[in-house]
């Protein structure tokens, strides 16, 4: 019987296909989660505490950033009897579960047991007003008074991309450059307005935009990142993690706007954190 050449070729191809290992497929990258904080990134927290609006409560002092976030602001009001009232505005807050509805100029607002009042502006997220102190009955009423005074600013939050180097910026970007350090994304989270967590097969990057008081800060190895002063720190014995901090520019006394990028569960984590910090700096 004559065997056709075509039959031999087909048989060889089938044998080759059976014996060969399956071709490795590139890992698929999960997408970044939707940015639920997008509508808050340009909001100027200090402009919410509008001087003219608050002057009916007391003499308005200087408005300054509060805590670690450039999206929080604090102001001291000197009331007619001379007592100070310290009010804070927090942007991109999520109310606690014990928060109850309150009426503030017809807006969707809730107030929790600690007297923090939140006006919801994007789903369950919003802008919070709180008062410093421990007299909760008094503070709850004062928070409602301040929120009512700045109702116009809460209804239409003032935008100002120049308020800080972080306004209008997403700490998860540039994600495509970050994946060069950790590989295709297997997990991505946006825990808060100022934080991002990206995980790939080669490690995790923890990215944050913060205000850092450098007075008592433990300084690490100096380095330059994107033309800015920075430092790199690795704990003894923690060879799979390393943190790079970049001091973007001064703010307040002894404090800086800083980006912090930490590589975790990674080989050569200091190189990964440094390279990621350089990519992040291009966004600022």
Using one digit for the tens of pLDDT, what is the confidence trace for 201-232?
999 999 999 999 888 776 789 999 999 999 99
The rounded distance, in Å, linking the Cα atoms of 189 and 35 is 10
In tens, the pLDDT along 3-61 reads: 444 444 444 344 444 444 444 344 568 999 999 999 999 999 999 999 999 999 999 99
In tens, the pLDDT along 76-94 reads: 999 999 999 999 999 999 9
pLDDT of residue 14: 41
pLDDT of residue 31: 94
Bond into 174 cis (ω within 30)? yes
Is the pLDDT higher at 234 or at 13?
A: 234
What b/e sequence results for 50-84 when a residue is b if at least 16 CB atoms lie within 10 Å of its CB, and e otherwise?
Answer: beebbeebbebeebebbebbbbbbbbbbeeeeeee
Domains, in order of start, for the chain: 45-158 (no CATH), 165-281 (3.40.1000)
pLDDT of residue 27: 57
Is residue 273 a contact partner of residue 265, using CB atoms and an 8 Å limit? no
Q: Which two tokens stand for residue 153?
A: 């600013």
Tokens 């000197």 label which residue? Answer: 78
In tens, the pLDDT along 139-156 reads: 999 999 999 999 999 999
pLDDT of residue 171: 97
Packing angle of the helix pair 175-182, 269-281 (nearest 10 deg): 170
In tens, the pLDDT along 92-137 reads: 999 999 999 999 999 999 999 999 999 999 999 999 999 998 888 8
Full 3-state SS string of 90-125: EEEECCCCCCEEEEECCEEEEECCCCCEEEEEECCE
In tens, the pLDDT along 145-188 reads: 999 999 999 999 999 999 999 999 999 999 999 999 999 999 99
pTM of the entire predicted model: 0.85
pLDDT of residue 28: 65
Closest CA to 91 of 76, 70, 116, 107: 70
Is the pLDDT higher at 64 or at 3?
A: 64
């Amino acid at each position: 019987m004559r065997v056709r050449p075509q039959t031999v070729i087909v048989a060889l191809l089938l044998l080759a296909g059976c014996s060969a290992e399956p071709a490795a497929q590139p890992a698929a990258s999960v997408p970044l989660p939707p940015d639920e904080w997008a509508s808050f990134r340009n909001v100027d927290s200090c402009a919410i505490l509008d001087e003219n609006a608050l002057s009916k409560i007391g003499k308005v002092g200087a408005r300054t950033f509060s805590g670690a976030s450039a999206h929080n602001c604090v102001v001291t009001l000197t009331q007619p009897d001379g007592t100070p009232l310290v009010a804070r505005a927090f942007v991109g807050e999520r109310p606690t579960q014990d928060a109850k509805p309150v009426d503030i100029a017809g807006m969707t607002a809730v107030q929790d047991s600690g007297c923090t009042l939140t006006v919801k502006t994007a789903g369950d997220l919003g802008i919070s007003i709180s008062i410093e102190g421990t007299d909760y009955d008094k503070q709850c009423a004062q928070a409602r008074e301040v929120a009512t005074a700045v109702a116009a600013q809460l209804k239409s939050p003032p935008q100002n991309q120049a308020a800080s180097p972080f306004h209008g910026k997403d700490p998860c970007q540039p994600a495509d450059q970050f994946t060069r350090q950790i590989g295709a994304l297997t997990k991505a989270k946006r825990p808060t307005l100022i934080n991002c967590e990206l995980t790939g097969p080669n490690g995790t990057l923890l990215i944050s935009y913060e205000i850092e008081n450098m007075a008592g800060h433990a300084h690490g190895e100096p380095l330059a990142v994107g033309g800015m002063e920075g430092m790199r720190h690795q704990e003894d014995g923690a060879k799979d993690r390393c943190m790079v901090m970049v001091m973007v520019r001064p703010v307040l006394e002894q404090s800086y706007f800083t980006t912090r990028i930490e590589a975790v569960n990674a080989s050569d984590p200091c190189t990964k954190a440094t390279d990621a910090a350089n990519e992040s700096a291009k966004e600022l």
